[in-house]
Amino acid sequence: MADKPEKTEKPRKNIMGIVLPVIAFVAGAGAGGAGAAIAVLQFAGGGGGGDHGTAAHAEAPPVPAGPLEYVEVENAFTSNLADSGRYLQVKLSVSTFGGPEAAATIGKHKPAIVSAVLAALGEVRDSDIENAKAKDGLRVRLKDVINNTLKTKGEPGTVEEVFFTSLVVQ
Domain borders along the chain are 15-58, 69-169
Specify the pTM. Answer: 0.63
Least trusted range by pLDDT, from 4-8, 48-52, 106-110: 48-52
Q: Give the dihedral of Cα atoms 95, 145, 78, 105; nearest 10 deg.
A: 50
pLDDT tens for 3-28 read 555 655 555 555 555 555 555 554 55
Q: Report the C-alpha gap between 166 and 163 in whole angstroms.
A: 9
Q: Distance of CA 30 to CAs 22, 23, 24, 33, 93, Å?
A: 12, 11, 10, 5, 49
Q: Which fold has domain 69-169?
A: Tetrahydropterin Synthase; Chain A (3.30.479)
pLDDT tens for 51-91 read 444 444 456 556 566 789 999 999 899 999 998 989 999 99
